[in-house]
Amino acid sequence: AAGVIQSPRHLIKEKRETATLKCYPIPRHDTVYWYQQGPGQDPQFLISFYEKMQSDKGSIPDRFSAQQFSDYHSELNMSSLELGDSALYFCASSLGQLQGANSPLHFGNGTRLTVT
């Protein structure tokens, strides 16, 4: 079965650079979520989109932005990168309204961002 696809798998950037992470949800899933997992930490919710509209916002820094496109893929844009942004970034997708609230989130394999 098709899963959530994230690219790239690994990314190395220097401080103050920008990065763009991409996420392709499971086909027919209408909701996308972004999570950040620091070393030894639990995943922290950043932001979510339902039907291409932002639906919820968590602890996402102002330096980060995200959007969901017409084909439902999503991109997380990160600017003025800091050392503390080094983390594993997960994208997840689910069926939002169609299957009712709280259908399981299916996660991608993550993008490991290292800021040097």
Whichever of 19 and 87 has its CB closer to another protein, that residue is 87
Whichever of 48 and 81 has its CB closer to another protein, that residue is 48
Whichever of 42 and 71 has its CB closer to another protein, that residue is 42
Under the rule (CB under 8 A), what is the footprint of another protein? Answer: 31, 33, 35, 41-45, 48-50, 55-56, 58, 88, 90, 92, 94, 96-97, 101-102, 104-110, 112
Closest distance to another protein from the beta carbon of 100 (Å):
9
Closest distance to another protein from the beta carbon of 96 (Å):
5
Q: How far apart are the first and last CA of the chain?
A: 36
Burial tier of 51 (Cβ tally within 10 Å: 0-12, 13-18, 19+): exposed
CA atoms within 13 A on the CB side of 91: 31
Angle at 102 between CA 112 and CA 86, to 5 degrees: 15
